[in-house]
């Protein structure tokens, strides 16, 4: 298994995916944090717990690109016709998927760490610009960033699972973006009671977004991990049973 994970890592870093996607994920998170701080509601002090959570919870914005990266890791094999070659090397295909899930999780975690550091930096600078002091010693800061790591890790795995389930790269990327940008928002508005059980809302809860009605961060982590596991299992089943 270690060899397979090493091979998947080699695959990923011998394309341009990482250098394209990770900086983009960092950039949109940093922009979101800076924008949120600059556009903050004057009724809520920046240094308050609420203010910090509001500013840092959007560090999770980049997770959507980590999800896309995960999709490209798995569905990209079908897009470029390399799946057959991969399965010639490893005919027990579930092993390939497990290795890819490990890479999705690892890359997600690493992306989350880079995003967190970059966002902390930008938050410090923009707080300064706004005439406030960023409370680095506030426990909410670290809990929120721990949430960001969880969020990007799970989204990396979710992307790998979803990509292997759908197999069509364009459809999987467009479908997932449509889900998070449109479908889930609509469902949340139509039926708020079920909205909090959906994956994006779970993600928001994990990064401790100060919104009413969200699950607790641990419950949301379990829920999102459950979605990830269900989709990954379905993806493994598709990969293992369908002709490549």
Partner 1 sequence: MIDVRALTKTYGDRLAVSELSFTAPAGKVTGFLGPNGAGKTTTFRCLLGLAEPTRGATLIDGLPYRELASPRRHVGAVLESTGFHPARTGRNHLRVIARASRIDAARIDPLLELAGLTAAADRRVGGYSLGMRQRLGLAAALLGDPAVIVLDEPANGLDPEGVTWVRRLLRIWADEGRTVVVSSHLLAEVAQVVDRVVIIRGGRLVAEIDIADLTPSRVTVRVDRTDLMLSALSAAGADHELLADGAISIAGQDTAEIGGLAAQAGVTVTELSRVSAGATLEAMFLAVTAGPGR
Q: Which residues are at the interface with partner 1 (CB under 8 A)?
A: 3-4, 6-7, 10-11, 14-16, 76, 80-82, 84-92, 241, 243-244
**Shortest Cβ distance from residue 244 to partner 1 (Å)?**
5
**Shortest Cβ distance from residue 236 to partner 1 (Å)?**
15
Q: Which is nearer to partner 1, 6 or 117 (CB)?
A: 6
Retrieve residue 146's tokens.
Answer: 């721990």
**Shortest Cβ distance from residue 22 to partner 1 (Å)?**
16
Pairwise CA distance, residues 30 & 36, whole Å: 10
Q: Which is nearer to partner 1, 15 or 133 (CB)?
A: 15
Retrieve residue 224's tokens.
Answer: 């999102």
Picking from 168, 178, 174, 144, the residue whose alpha carbon sits closest to that of residue 235 is: 168
**Shortest Cβ distance from residue 77 to partner 1 (Å)?**
9
Q: Which is nearer to partner 1, 76 or 156 (CB)?
A: 76
Sign of CA dihedral 36, 41, 42, 48: negative
Pairwise CA distance, residues 179 & 206, whole Å: 19
**Shortest Cβ distance from residue 102 to partner 1 (Å)?**
14
Q: Which is nearer to partner 1, 84 or 129 (CB)?
A: 84
**Shortest Cβ distance from residue 227 to partner 1 (Å)?**
29
DSSP structural state of residue 183 = I
Picking from 85, 73, 79, the residue whose alpha carbon sits closest to that of residue 13 is: 73
**Mutual angle of helices 139-166 and 217-241, in 10-degree steps:** 20
Q: Which is nearer to partner 1, 14 or 42 (CB)?
A: 14
CA 166 to chain centre: 18
Retrieve residue 4's tokens.
Answer: 């397979």
Q: Which is nearer to partner 1, 19 or 194 (CB)?
A: 19
Helices first, then strands: H and E counts in the chain: 12, 0
């Amino acid at each position: 298994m270690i060899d397979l994970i090493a091979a998947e890592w080699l695959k990923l870093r011998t394309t341009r995916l990482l250098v394209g996607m990770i900086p983009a994920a960092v950039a949109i998170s940093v922009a979101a944090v800076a924008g949120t701080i600059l556009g903050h509601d004057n009724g809520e002090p920046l240094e308050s717990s609420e203010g910090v959570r509001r500013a840092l919870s959007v560090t999770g914005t980049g997770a959507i690109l980590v999800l896309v990266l995960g999709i490209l890791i798995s569905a990209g094999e079908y897009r470029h016709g390399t799946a057959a070659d991969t399965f010639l090397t490893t005919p027990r295909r579930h092993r390939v998927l497990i290795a890819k899930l490990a890479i999705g999780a690892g890359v997600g975690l690493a992306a989350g760490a880079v995003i967190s550091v970059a966002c902390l930096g930008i938050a410090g600078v923009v707080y300064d610009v706004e005439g406030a002091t960023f409370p680095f010693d506030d426990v909410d800061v670290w809990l929120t960033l721990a949430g960001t790591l969880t969020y990007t890790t799970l989204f990396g795995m979710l992307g790998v699972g979803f990509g292997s389930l759908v197999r069509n790269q364009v459809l999987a990327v467009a479908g997932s973006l449509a889900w998070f940008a449109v479908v889930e928002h609509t469902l949340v508005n139509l039926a708020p009671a079920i909205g909090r059980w959906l994956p994006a809302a779970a993600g928001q809860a994990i990064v401790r977004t100060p919104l009413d009605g969200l699950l607790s961060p641990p419950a949301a982590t379990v829920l999102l991990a459950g979605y990830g596991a269900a989709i990954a299992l379905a993806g493994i089943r598709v990969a293992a049973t369908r002709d490549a």
